[in-house]
Chains A and B, each alone.
Chain A
Amino acid sequence: MSRARREVRRRIHLMVLASIALLVTAGGRASGGEQADRRECEYGITLALAGQSARAESVFVSLLSHSRGSPAAFTNLGNLRLLAGDVAGSLGFYARAFAADSSDGGIALNEATALLLLGDEDAAEEHARLGVQLAGDAPRAASLLGLHDPGGSAAATRGAERTRLSKEEVLALIRAAAGRVPADSSHAGAPARAPVAPGRRPIKLRAAGPRAGDAAPPTLVYWKR
Chain B
Amino acid sequence: MAQAAAFVNTLDPVVDGFAREATRTAALMGDLPFAGRNLVFMAAIFDALAVLGVTYVPDPSNPYATVSTTPRAVDTVAYPRETLARKTGDCDDTSVLVAALLGNVGIATQIVDVPGHLFVLADAGVHARNQLALGLDSARVVVADDEVWIPLETTALRTGFAEAWRVGAEEYATWSARGRLSLVDIAEASSRYEPASPGAPAAASPAVDAAALETRVRQDLGTMAAWRTEFFASRYGDVEARLDATPEALNDVARVYFSAGELDEAAATLERARSRTPDSPQTTNNLAALDVARGDLDTAIGLYQRAARLDSSDAGIWLNLGLVRQARGDSADAAAAIARGVFLSGGYPQACALLGLATGDAPTREGTQRMTADEARALLRSALARVPRPTTSARRGGVTAPTPRPRRHWISRVAGGRGADEAALQDILYWRDS
Contacts and interface: CB of A to CB of B under 8 A. Distances in A.
Interface of A: 36, 39-40, 42-43, 45-46, 49-51, 58-59, 61-62, 64-66, 68-69, 74, 77, 86, 88-89, 91-93, 96, 143-144, 146-148, 200, 202, 210, 212, 215-219, 223
B187 interface: no
B132 A49 contact: yes
Contacts of B146: 143, 148
A24 B244 CA distance: 27
The majority secondary structure among interface residues of chain B is: helix
Contacts, number: 118
A66 B244 contact: yes
A146 to B, nearest CB: 4
A92 B254 CA distance: 11
Interface in B143-172: 146-147
B239 A43 contact: yes
Interface string B124-138: 011101101101000
12 contacts: A36-B242, A46-B135, A62-B242, A62-B249, A64-B246, A64-B252, A88-B261, A89-B257, A89-B260, A89-B262, A146-B126, A148-B147
Contact of A144 (B35, B129, B236, B252): B129
B249 A61 contact: yes
A69 B261 CA distance: 20
Given A50-B135, A62-B243, A68-B248, A93 B127 contact: no
A199 B252 CA distance: 20
Interface string B33-57: 0011100000000000000000000
A156 B276 CA distance: 48
A61 to B, nearest CB: 5
B253 interface: yes
Nearest to A41: B239
Interface in B248-305: 248-250, 252-253, 256-257, 259-262, 265
B133 A218 contact: yes
Contacts of A65: 244-246, 248-249
Interface residues of B, number: 36
A203 to B, nearest CB: 11
Nearest to B434: A68
A219 B245 contact: no
A30 to B, nearest CB: 16
Given A49-B35, A61-B250, A77-B253, 20 more contacts: A40-B239, A43-B236, A45-B132, A50-B135, A51-B35, A58-B245, A59-B243, A62-B244, A68-B249, A69-B252, A86-B262, A88-B261, A89-B262, A143-B146, A200-B261, A202-B262, A215-B125, A216-B125, A223-B130, A223-B132
A74 B126 CA distance: 24
Contact of B133 (A77, A147, A219): A219
A39 B236 contact: yes
Contacts of B240: 43
A148 B129 CA distance: 11
